[in-house]
């Protein structure tokens, strides 16, 4: 029975991830006074792309061809580590959050070199921006998880999540609040949302993430869309686990709490996107450094307490 549950969780994660961008889009449409696209639009897009052929530019090499499938695979592995509701993930071990970060980093590395591989000046520009911002985003994430780990005394993602409870909030509200803030900022940056990037823009010169996939087409592009939806799911899970820390020990109820937590995160991302303009590219590192200081502050508070 436990094995079936583990398997079921993995299937739900891998199938449900593309709904999060759909929720964000609906929230944006609501604020814009529009009806908006179908909440399942990303599924249709991915299905459509999978039925198309692939065009490879003549200047690309093997790197470009393996990047997209490898990115999707790496993201899926990272997703399998994530716990689901109160349950442990399929692959869970002590210190597994480090693996999650580096699986995502490896997938970013592949995206960057595949962008460089095309030889296009736009994609090189996007790659340089992505690499620069990643340097600032990574320590924020580590610092936040480290503090969480210190609060809960656990070192696996599952352990941390299962120790999070309303009681913990009562005791550590300020620290947890700071962690939620910094993780939310990292999530927006890493998944290329406003105010860091604009997923809807068609202007090559301002893009970060989108410009790197200009040469990808067909199933490759579909895989990249899918990988970024999974990434949003993974990073959103951390935020959702902290803001909805209730465990009922009933599988379906926990799953429901977990998924509605993710929906709340997606809605908040949509609201931020609707009411805020994108920051200047120059300010992105400053923004991330601010998030880093928030994370450090959380760590210091926690250390002083302990």
Partner 1 sequence: MKDFIVEPLENIEVLESKDFFSELSTELSKGSGISSYFAMPQGSDFKLFACLLSKSGEIKIICSNVREKITSLSTFFPQLHLFEREIAEKTGLKIDGHPFPNPVRYENGLTASSGKYFRLGGDEIHEVAVGPVHAGVIEPGHFRFQCLGENVFNLQIELGYQHRGIENAIPKVKKNKFLPLIETVAGDTSIGHAWTFAKVYEALSSCEISPRAASLRGIALELERMANHVGDIGALSGDVAYLPTSSFCGRIRGDILNTTAILCGNRFGRNFIVPGGVAFDVDEKITEEMMSKFDKAYEDAVSAISLLWDKKSVLDRFEKTGTVTTEQALKLRLVGPVARASSVPFDIRALFHIYPYEDYELEPLTLNGDVFARAYMRWMEIKKSYKLIKNWMNNLPSGPISVESKSLKPNSLAMALTEGWRGEISHVCITDENGNISFYKIKDPSFHNWQGLSIALRDAKISDFPLCNKSFNLSYCGHDL
Residue 27 or residue 137: which is nearer to partner 1 going by CB? 27
Stretch binding partner 1 (CB under 8 A), from 17-25, 76-84, 141-149, 201-209: 201-209
Q: How many CA atoms lie within 13 A of 181 on its CB side?
A: 18
Strand partners, 84: 87
**Residue window 105-124: x/- pattern of binding to partner 1, with contact defined by CB under 8 A:** ----------------xx-x
Considering only 11, 32, 250, 305, the residue that binds partner 1 (CB under 8 A) is 32
In the chain the first and final C-alpha atoms are separated, in Å, by: 40
Considering only 2, 3, 4, 33, the residue that binds partner 1 (CB under 8 A) is 33
Residue 132 or residue 155: which is nearer to partner 1 going by CB? 132
Residue 152 or residue 201: which is nearer to partner 1 going by CB? 201
**Shortest distance in whole angstroms from residue 218 CB to partner 1:** 18
Tokens of 278: 């994108």
Taken in order 68, 72, 77, 81, is the CA torsion positive or negative?
positive
Does residue 201 belong to the site contacting partner 1 (CB under 8 A)? yes
Residue 57 or residue 92: which is nearer to partner 1 going by CB? 57
Residue 3 or residue 35: which is nearer to partner 1 going by CB? 35
**Residues 124-143 contacting partner 1, CB under 8 A:** 124-125, 128
**Shortest distance in whole angstroms from residue 55 CB to partner 1:** 16
**Shortest distance in whole angstroms from residue 132 CB to partner 1:** 10
Q: How many residues bind partner 1 (CB under 8 A)?
A: 31
The C-alpha atoms of residue 105 and residue 182 are separated, in whole angstroms, by: 18
**Residue window 12-31: x/- pattern of binding to partner 1, with contact defined by CB under 8 A:** ----------------x--x
**Residues 134-193 contacting partner 1, CB under 8 A:** none
Stretch binding partner 1 (CB under 8 A), from 18-26, 85-93, 158-166, 202-210: 202-210
Other Cβ atoms closer than 10 A to 215: 22
Looking at the chain, which runs of residues are DSSP E strands? none
The C-alpha atoms of residue 254 and residue 258 are separated, in whole angstroms, by: 6
The C-alpha atoms of residue 268 and residue 128 are separated, in whole angstroms, by: 29
**Shortest distance in whole angstroms from residue 214 CB to partner 1:** 8
**Shortest distance in whole angstroms from residue 33 CB to partner 1:** 6
Other Cβ atoms closer than 10 A to 119: 13
Residue 170 or residue 277: which is nearer to partner 1 going by CB? 277
- Find, among 90, 236, 255, 108, the residue nearest to 156 by Cα: 90
- Find, among 136, 126, 164, 135, the residue nearest to 148 by Cα: 164
Residue 223 or residue 284: which is nearer to partner 1 going by CB? 284
The C-alpha atoms of residue 245 and residue 236 are separated, in whole angstroms, by: 14
- Find, among 59, 203, 197, 211, the residue nearest to 123 by Cα: 211
**Residues 225-284 contacting partner 1, CB under 8 A:** 273-283
For the chain, the maximum distance between any two Cα atoms, rounded to a whole number of angstroms, is 59
The C-alpha atoms of residue 225 and residue 216 are separated, in whole angstroms, by: 11
Chain residues in the site for partner 1 (CB under 8 A) = 28, 31-34, 121-122, 124-125, 128, 194-195, 198, 200-206, 273-283
């Amino acid at each position: 029975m436990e094995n079936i549950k583990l398997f079921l969780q993995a299937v739900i994660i891998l199938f449900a991830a593309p709904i999060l961008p759909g929720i964000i889009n609906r929230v944006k449409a609501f604020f814009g006074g529009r009806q908006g696209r179908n909440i399942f639009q990303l599924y249709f897009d991915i299905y459509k792309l999978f039925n198309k052929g692939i065009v490879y530019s003549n200047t690309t090499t093997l790197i470009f061809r393996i990047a997209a499938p490898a990115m999707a695979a790496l993201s899926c592995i990272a997703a399998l580590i994530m716990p689901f509701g109160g349950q442990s993930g399929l692959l869970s071990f002590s210190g597994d959050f480090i693996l999650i970060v580096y699986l995502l980093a490896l997938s970013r590395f592949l995206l960057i070199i595949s962008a460089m591989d095309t030889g296009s000046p736009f994609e090189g520009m996007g790659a340089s921006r992505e690499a620069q911002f990643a340097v600032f985003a990574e320590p924020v994430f580590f610092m936040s998880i480290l503090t969480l780990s210190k609060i809960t005394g656990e070192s696996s993602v599952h352990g941390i999540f299962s120790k999070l409870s309303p009681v913990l909030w009562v005791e550590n509200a300020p620290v947890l609040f700071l962690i939620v803030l910094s993780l939310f900022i990292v999530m927006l940056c890493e998944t290329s949302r406003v105010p860091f990037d604009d997923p809807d823009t068609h202007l090559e010169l301002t893009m970060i993430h989108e410009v790197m996939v200009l040469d990808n087409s067909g199933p490759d592009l579909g895989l990249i869309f899918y990988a970024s939806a999974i990434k949003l799911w993974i990073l959103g899970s951390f935020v959702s686990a902290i803001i909805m820390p209730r465990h009922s020990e009933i599988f379906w109820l926990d799953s429901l709490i977990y998924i509605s937590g993710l929906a709340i995160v997606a809605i908040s991302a949509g609201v931020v996107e609707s009411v805020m303009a994108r920051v200047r590219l120059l300010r992105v590192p400053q923004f991330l450094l601010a998030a880093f200081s928030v994370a450090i502050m959380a760590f210091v508070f926690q250390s002083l307490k302990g």
